[in-house]
Amino acid sequence: FFPLAPNFNHLNGRTWAVLADTIQDWLSNNISLTHSDVWLWGREFFWMAFVAAFPGFPRREWPLWDPKIGMEGECIIYWMSDIGSGSERFPDDVQTGVWRKFHDLATMLYTLPLFQEY
């Protein structure tokens, strides 16, 4: 799922949804690697992309994901624990916050350019 498309826009929910689908496909096709670091990091990236695509999750509508991808990892655990606060999340705020974490983690783990060149 890396490098990202050159037109990736972190403020566009549809862009995040496409990325979440791409990561989900990768995770589902590499299920034998479930306990490897690369799969666990992929799962973390999936949940980042998923909540950025669907910032109303789990209160509003969202698509089902492959049940083999557990609700585990730092991102989704934090996301679900914060639900109880009752605060409304604005999509742009969520997407910007997720992008910061996503970008920092990606540039730490992925040593090649993060974006595809045309």
CB atoms within 10 A of CB 48: 27
Is 80 exceeded by the pLDDT of residue 57? yes
Identify the pLDDT of residue 64: 93
pLDDT tens-digit readout, 58-68? 888 889 999 99
Q: Residue 73: left (phi > 0), alpha (psi -120 to 50), or beta?
A: left
Identify the pLDDT of residue 92: 77
Look up the pTM and report it.
0.90
Contact 50, 75 (CB under 8 A): no
pLDDT tens-digit readout, 35-56? 899 999 999 999 999 999 999 8
pLDDT bucket at 31, cuts 50 / 70 / 90: confident
Identify the pLDDT of residue 88: 61
pLDDT tens-digit readout, 73-88? 999 998 888 776 656 6
Name the token pair of 13. 């929910």
